[in-house]
Amino acid sequence: MMKIVIADDDIVARGLLKAALSSHYEILEASNGIEALAAAESDDVRLILLDVVMPGMSGHEVCSQLRRNPLTCHVIVVMLTSRDSQTDIIEGLKSGADDYIVKPPKIPELLARVDSHLRRQWRELQANPLTGLPGNNEIDQVIRSLLKSGAAFAICYADLNRFKSYNDCYGFMNGDRVISFTAELLTEVIAERGNPQRDFVGHIGGDDFVIVTSADRAENICAEVAERFDDGIRQFYDESDLAKGGVVTIDRSRRNSFSPILTISMAIVASAADFTHPGQIAQAAAEIKQVLKQKETGKSSYMVERRGGSQSTKQQIVGSRLAV
């Protein structure tokens, strides 16, 4: 159970808030600023309801100290005060508060705001720090939810070919720029060709991404990604390497090795709802990607696995053209 700190010198106010929240969260109480700072350093404290006017140290001072402390800088701060002037609200937000609620709070609204802040925090903590896309936990949650619902959907696992060689040649900072470019590209294509209200883009880590969409949109999305990636990736190479068609790196045997320009491979499991566990879908996609790597043509490509009963078929596409 997640922990919330209620910091208020009014014991009656603390009791009312605790009664409203204790069925959902573990509650720690503080009657002044010093106690609030100490409670906020407890393990797994996610949010503090902080009264502005307390003896010894104001809520604004407490908030400022919370933000400066590496152990508490991530804690959500919701100010509670009887003052509702614009000046007071601005002062609270400038001190680092995330929200501002006038006392006495309406309990349904308070519960909704606390829940909203904690859900947002969870998403941010799960997100990949480089791309801001949802990470593995949320990816797994989305897939499990769809499997449980029985809804039809398709999953595309995407990764970059020869990314390590690019990183070795151009360095990690430029490698991060390529990863960010890929994340932005996938997000843009989903916004334009998918259903932004239902489709999902996640970042597994490194150069691995996942798209969740419908079976009827998956191929169009991947075709567009392939075309745009091959056009856009050239901006991350020097003219001399573009002229050569790739980069020369040193392999593990200390010999020169030529690595062509980056491409993206995408494995589509078009009938993902036929599976019962996210791991089964990932395994099917891994098998598709292995085939794609073996048949690489120097252009971005995708392969579709379509299932019907116990049978499955695979079809490789390069850009928007069928590979022959």
Average pLDDT, the chain: 86
Residue type, 150: G
93, 65 contact by CB (below 8 A): no
- Full-model pTM: 0.67
Residue 204 has pLDDT above 90, yes or no: yes
What pLDDT does residue 20 have? 92
Per-residue confidence band for 313, with pLDDT thresholds at 50, 70 and 90: low
Neighbouring C-beta atoms of residue 246, cutoff 10 Å: 19
- Work out the average pLDDT over 87-113: 82
User: What is the pLDDT, as a whole number, of residue 293?
Assistant: 82
- Residue 126 pLDDT: 74
CA angle 99, 101, 104 (to 5 degrees): 160
* Domains of the chain and CATH, by start: 3-126 (3.40.50.2300), 136-322 (3.30.70.270)
Mean pLDDT, residues 132-142: 87
104 cis-preceded (ω within 30 degrees of 0): yes
By 3-state DSSP, what share of the chain in percent is helix, strand and coil, each rounded to 5?
Answer: 45, 25, 30
* The predicted structure's pLDDT at residue 309: 46
